[in-house]
Amino acid sequence: MDLGKPSKICRKCQAVMWNQERNNKGAKHNEPTFSLCCRDGMIELPAERHPPPYLDDLLSNGVKSEHFKKNIRTYNSMFHFTSMGGKIDRSVNDGGGPFCFKLNGQNYHLLGTLKPTDGENPKFCQLYIYDTENEVDNRLNAFPGSNEMDPEIVAALVQMMDDHNKLASGFRMARQRFNLQEPEEFRLQLISSQSASGRANHVIASNEVAALIVGNVEDESPYRDLIVETKQLYLKRVYETCAQFMSLQYPLLFPYGDDGFHLNIPLHGKPARTTKNVNIDADETEPHHRDKVSMKEYYAYKLMIRPNQGMTMHLGGRLWQQFVVDAFAAVEQYRLDWIRTHQHVIRSDLYKSIRDFIRQGDTDSSTKGQNVILPATFTGSARYMNQYFKDSLAICRTIGHPSLFLTMTCNTQWPEIKEMLKHKPGIDVVDAPDIIARVFKLKLDQLIDLIKNKNYFGKCIGGNYYFCNISRLYNIFY
Ligand SMILES: [Zn+2]
């Protein structure tokens, strides 16, 4: 069964879609509408800009393209402002299979100080400020084992960041301040687009995205702009909801330092009522009351392919893979936080607390305390697994043993995947988890339809299926 080419274009957001992804499947002659990309026009984000010429050359077919794409994650690490706090599992990349970015544990991005601690080498955002005469060397030296890296590319990227990146220009402004005869103590405030207008007057110098704050003035903006300290004892966490969360971590995917997701992106029109994931989806609790774009919707929008716009992110190869995993972790983290703070909504009092404690006859106080319940609607949770397992048992008890037990896997050579990859020239299929997840889901739906409705193996009287692995990506974004 072939899905054919992704021949449809969403008329609202210009994303390339498969016909089978349309909402109005029944009305074959009507113009198709799509929810997967932009919720049929409710999400409107600024068009992605085309990358600066130098980066464009590196990402397409330039002389150094191959080398750059292979090492794009290292080059990005030389320029990112924040560090990644999650535990990266490198054991899967033992040289045999294709590159796979795997992240364990809780993920977070950390921001250091403007100045390195005495005796330490500058790193991350400090490289934009400290000892910039030797910037290229410093960036190369910050990565032991980076002898393979090309100093010419690093120098050109330094220039590109200076010319185009708004965040870099903010840090350069701090550098100028440090170079004064007797610099006063100051902090750097990174201003997001949402709070750029109507600001208080405590800013002494400002361009569009950054301001230097002298003295102990608190951030008065309601949007809590990110503030980089000159000195502090700990690393500051940059939250998933911060507008610069991704652009600080992926300067090569966001070469202009544009804002990413934040909590005040308006939703156009009134959302339709939906029952799917209603009680779990963080700020999607009551979609019909909501007027802001959710994090999940934002990243789902960004994951779509729009050839008429800039494709910087999609052409990032391994870095794009890392970005997708990072975004996945961010959305999941956000949901988990929501679940933790909304236990009353999911009625966890039915499960928890002293009542159970006493019933167990347990007297060990170390196990006492707030119990956070992960509901069955959270994909992969214990209750999710339990529910599917018990459903399966119940089905077996009622209608007998199953005659079919199918496990469906994905073939990366499927023609549908190759067709969509044509929109990402030069990208290997392993670096396109977004396409794989979409095609897999469409094929899975086809298979289930074949068995359940078309009675391919005889009349179907019952069944159950659940997602795992790659389709979790689908499950969380779309
Ligand atoms: Zn759309």
Q: Is 59 part of any domain?
A: yes
Q: 435 CA to middle of ligand 1, Å?
A: 16
Whether residue 138 is found in the same domain as residue 232: yes
How far, in Å, is the centroid of ligand 1 from the Cα of 301? 8
Residue 427: phi, psi to the nearest 5?
Answer: -100, 135
Beta carbons of 392 and 462 less than 8 angstroms apart: no
Task: Identify the sign of the CA torsion 201, 172, 139, 315.
Answer: positive
pLDDT, residue 199, reads 40
The pLDDT-based confidence of 288 (bands split at 50, 70, 90) is low
Q: What is the pLDDT, as a whole number, of residue 112?
A: 87
44 CA distance to ligand 1 centroid (A)?
Answer: 9
**Do 347 and 249 share a structural domain?**
no
Task: Label each residue of 325-383 as H, E or C.
Answer: HHHHHHHHHHHHHHHHHCCCCCCHHHCCHHHHHHHCCCCCHHHCCCCCCCCCCCCCCHH
Position 347 pLDDT exceeds 60: yes
Structural domain span for residue 127: 53-264
Query: For the residues 307-319, what does the mean pLDDT come to?
Result: 93
Q: How far apart are CA 20 and CA 195, in angstroms?
A: 41
Which of 144-153, 223-232, 237-246, 337-346 bottoms out in mean pLDDT, i.e. has the lowest? Answer: 223-232
Q: What is the Å distance from ligand 1's center to 20 Cα?
A: 14
Instruction: Please list, residue by residue across 199-230, b when 16 or more beta carbons sit within 10 angstroms of its beta carbon and e when fewer do.
Output: eeeeeeebeebbbbbeeeeebebebebbebbe
Residue 192 inside a domain? The answer is yes
Residue 331 included in any domain: no
Region of 348 on the Ramachandran plot (φ > 0 left; ψ -120 to 50 alpha; else beta) = alpha
| End-to-end Cα, the chain, rounded Å | 23
Total domain count for the chain?
A: 2
Q: What is the pTM of this model?
A: 0.86
- Residues 363, 229 share a domain: no
CA of 478 to the centre of ligand 1 (A): 12
Same domain for 352 and 252: no
Please write the tens of the pLDDT for every residue from 380-422.
788 888 888 898 889 889 988 888 888 888 898 999 999 999 9
Q: Which position has the higher pLDDT, 280 or 230?
A: 230
Tell me whether residue 188 is in a domain.
Answer: yes
User: How sure is the predictor about 177, in pLDDT bands with cuts at 50, 70 and 90?
Assistant: confident
pLDDT band per the 50, 70, 90 thresholds, residue 145: low
More confident residue, 289 or 4: 4
Q: Order of strands across the sheet with 205-206?
A: 205-206, 210-214, 186-190, 226-228
Domain final position from 264, 299, 327: 264
pLDDT at 158 over 90: yes
Mean pLDDT value across the chain: 82
CA of 285 to the centre of ligand 1 (A): 22
Give the pLDDT band of residue 270 (cuts 50, 70, 90): low
Rg of the chain in Å (alpha carbons): 25
Q: If you measure from the C-alpha of residue 11 to the centroid of ligand 1, how many angstroms do you get, rounded to a whole number? A: 7
* Position with higher pLDDT, 354 vs 392: 392
What pLDDT was estimated at residue 218? 65
Of 74, 72, 101, nearest to 88 by C-alpha is: 101
Q: Which helix (H) or strand (E) holds 201?
A: none
Residue 459 DSSP one-character state: -
Spatial separation of the C-alpha atoms in residues 251 and 7, rounded to whole Å: 32
* Ligand 1: centre distance to CA 42 (Å): 9
Q: Separation of 196 CA from ligand 1 center, angstroms?
A: 28
- d(CA 12, ligand 1 centre) in Å: 5
CB under 8 Å, gap of 24 or more: what pairs does 406-409 form?
Answer: 406/447, 406/451, 408/440, 408/443, 408/444, 408/447
pLDDT at 204: 32
Decide if pLDDT at 32 tops 50: yes
Q: Are the C-beta atoms of 285 and 216 separated by less than 8 Å?
A: no
Distance 2 CA to ligand 1 centre (A): 23
Whole-angstrom CA distances from 119 to 122, 146, 177 are 9, 22, 21
32 CA distance to ligand 1 middle (Å): 10
What mean pLDDT comes out for the span 261-270?
A: 83
Q: Report CA(426)–ligand 1 centroid distance (Å).
A: 25
Domain boundary among 323, 356, 372: 372
Bridge partners, 187 (sequence order): 213
Each residue's pLDDT tens digit, 358-377: 566 655 655 556 677 888 88
Give me the percent of the chain exceeding a pLDDT of 90: 31
**Residue 86 — very low, low, confident or very high, per pLDDT cuts 50/70/90?**
confident
**Res. 319 pLDDT band, cuts 50 70 90:** very high
Phi/psi at 88 (nearest 5 deg)?
Answer: -90, 125
Centre of ligand 1 to C-alpha 328, Å, is 20
- Give me ligand 1 centre to Cα 10, in Å: 5
Stretch 39-44: mean pLDDT: 91
Whether the pLDDT of residue 289 is over 70: the answer is no
Lowest mean pLDDT among 231-240, 317-326, 440-449: 231-240
CA distances to 3, 78, 133, 151, 458 from 454, in Å: 17, 55, 70, 60, 9
**pLDDT at residue 10, as a whole number:** 94
**Rounded distance from Cα 436 to ligand 1 centre (Å):** 19
Give residue 335 CA to ligand 1 midpoint distance, Å. 24
Any domain includes 408: no
Same domain (yes/no): 85, 197: yes
Based on the fold, state whether residues 133 and 239 are members of the same structural domain: yes
266: three-class secondary structure by DSSP: strand
**Cα 43 to averaged position of ligand 1 atoms, centre (Å):** 8
Give residue 288 CA to ligand 1 midpoint distance, Å: 19
Domain-embedded: residue 412: no
Cα distance between residue 81 and residue 174, in whole Å: 14
- 344 versus 458: the higher-pLDDT residue is 458
| Token pair for 157 | 């990227």
Residue 208 clears pLDDT 70, i.e. is over it? no
pLDDT score at 284: 47
Q: How far, in Å, from the CA of 163 to the mean position of ligand 1?
A: 32
Q: Which residue has the higher pLDDT, 153 or 96?
A: 153
Checking if the pLDDT of 279 tops 50, the result is no
- Please tell me the distance between residue 162's alpha carbon and the centre of ligand 1 in angstroms: 34
Instruction: Give 418-443 pLDDT, tens digit per residue.
Output: 999 999 988 999 899 999 999 998 99
Q: Identify whether residues 127 and 260 lie together within a single domain.
A: yes
Domain C-terminal end among 320, 352, 372: 372
pLDDT at 349: 57
Looking at the structure, do residues 363 and 218 belong to the same domain, yes or no?
A: no
Contacts of 339 (CB under 8 A, 6+ apart): 280, 346, 372, 373, 374, 375, 378
CA 446 to chain centre: 28
Q: Where are any strands of DSSP class E within 112-229? A: 186-190, 205-206, 210-214, 226-228
For residue 268, the CA-to-ligand 1 centroid distance in Å is 13
- In three-state secondary structure terms, 401 is coil
Decide: residue 341, CB within 10 A, 0-12 exposed, 13-18 middle, 19+ buried.
Answer: exposed
pLDDT exceeds cutoff 50 at 277: no
**DSSP assigned state of 129:** T
Domain assignment present for 398: no
Task: Tell me whether residue 160 is in a domain.
Answer: yes
Q: Are residues 260 and 354 in the same domain?
A: no
Indicate whether 243 and 367 sit together in one domain.
Answer: no
Give the separation between CA 157 and CA 397, rounded to whole angstroms: 64
CA of 306 to the centre of ligand 1 (A): 10
Indicate whether 215 and 69 sit together in one domain: yes
